[in-house]
């Protein structure tokens, strides 16, 4: 009897083991693993996308900082005062002024000179700011020079400018003004001296100095254009003769 019971029990265990081995893996375990992998993949993609966006923003910020730095450096460097080109530029401006008291920074000759100075100074001019700095500096200098010349013609109580001979007037205006390497004798410069003398004589500015608020250079510019546009071949000789007579008449009356 006991042997039969043991045999039945052993047979039952063997059947249970066979059934257990025959069972397929739990589907639930497979589904959980798939969901976890999908979620993990999405998390990785989200992180990568966020990193790429941050890199893009960082590149944009670096670009802005570089642009600001370059602009700041250009602004800092493009200063004429104290620069290696200051003296050369001032000499250029003085020579040009003594030929024509107005300057156009768009003229090819002037543009070439400015580009040469920018290169010599080592300035960056990608934005055109260096040209603007030079033009502003030059314009201010020309205004200053015009004030100087007007003061010499009408405001010097120690020199009787009206009684100066044309050659003496020329030296008085330009000898100490021009750089040492620039010859004082120049036809165009002498013509400017002659026109200044003629204008002041005709307007009696030597004696009265012009009324308050008198626009000396604005009026002289009109006179200058009339003379320059005159097509007579002997206009300079005639103008010189006229001024010499004026000077002689004034001196004789002293």
Domain residue extents for the chain: 2-77, 86-253
Please tell me the distance from the alpha carbon of residue 221 to that of residue 193, in angstroms, as a whole number: 14
pLDDT tens per residue across span 19-44: 545 545 554 444 546 555 566 666 77
CB 62 within 8 A of CB 70: no
Give Cα separations from 58 to 46, 65, 72, 115, 166 (angstroms): 18, 11, 21, 36, 71
Is 1 in a helix, a strand, or coil? coil
Q: Measuring CA to CA, which residue among 134, 89, 100, 90 is closest to residue 224?
A: 100
CB 85 within 8 A of CB 115: no
What confidence score (pLDDT) does residue 15 get?
A: 46
pLDDT tens per residue across span 67-85: 455 555 544 568 999 999 9
First to last CA, the chain: 170
What confidence score (pLDDT) does residue 2 get?
A: 45
Is the pTM above the cut of 0.75?
no
- CB atoms under 10 Å from CB of 16, counted, come to 10
In the block, residue with structure tokens 């001019």: 125
In the block, residue with structure tokens 């400017």: 192
What confidence score (pLDDT) does residue 72 get?
A: 53
pLDDT per position in the chain (254 positions), as tens? 444 544 454 555 554 455 545 545 554 444 546 555 566 666 777 777 878 887 777 776 775 665 455 555 544 568 999 999 999 999 999 999 999 999 999 999 999 999 999 999 988 776 688 999 999 999 999 999 999 999 999 877 889 999 999 999 999 999 999 999 999 999 999 999 999 999 999 998 987 665 566 899 999 999 999 999 999 999 999 999 999 999 999 999 98
């Amino acid at each position: 009897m006991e042997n039969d019971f043991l045999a039945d029990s052993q047979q039952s265990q063997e059947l249970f083991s066979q059934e257990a081995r025959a069972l397929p893996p739990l589907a639930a375990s497979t589904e959980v693993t798939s969901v976890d992998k999908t979620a993990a993949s999405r998390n990785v993609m989200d992180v990568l996308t966020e990193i790429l966006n941050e890199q893009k923003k960082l590149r944009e910020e670096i670009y802005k900082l570089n642009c600001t730095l370059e602009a700041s450096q250009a602004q800092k460097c493009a200063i004429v005062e104290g620069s290696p080109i200051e003296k050369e530029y001032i000499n250029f401006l003085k020579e040009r002024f003594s030929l024509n008291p107005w300057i156009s920074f768009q003229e090819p000759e002037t543009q070439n000179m400015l580009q040469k100075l920018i290169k010599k100074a080592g300035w960056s001019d990608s934005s055109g700011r260096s040209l603007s700095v030079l033009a502003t500096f030059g314009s201010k200098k020309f205004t200053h020079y015009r004030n100087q010349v007007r003061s010499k013609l009408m405001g010097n109580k120690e020199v009787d400018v009206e009684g100066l001979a044309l050659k003496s007037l020329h030296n008085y205006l330009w000898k100490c003004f021009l750089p040492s390497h620039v010859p004082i004798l120049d036809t165009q410069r002498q013509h400017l001296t002659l026109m200044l003398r003629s204008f002041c004589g005709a307007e009696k500015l030597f004696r009265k100095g012009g009324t308050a608020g008198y626009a000396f250079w604005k009026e002289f510019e009109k006179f200058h254009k009339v003379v320059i546009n005159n097509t007579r071949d002997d206009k300079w000789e005639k103008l010189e003769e006229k001024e010499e007579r004026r000077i002689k008449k004034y001196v004789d009356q002293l």
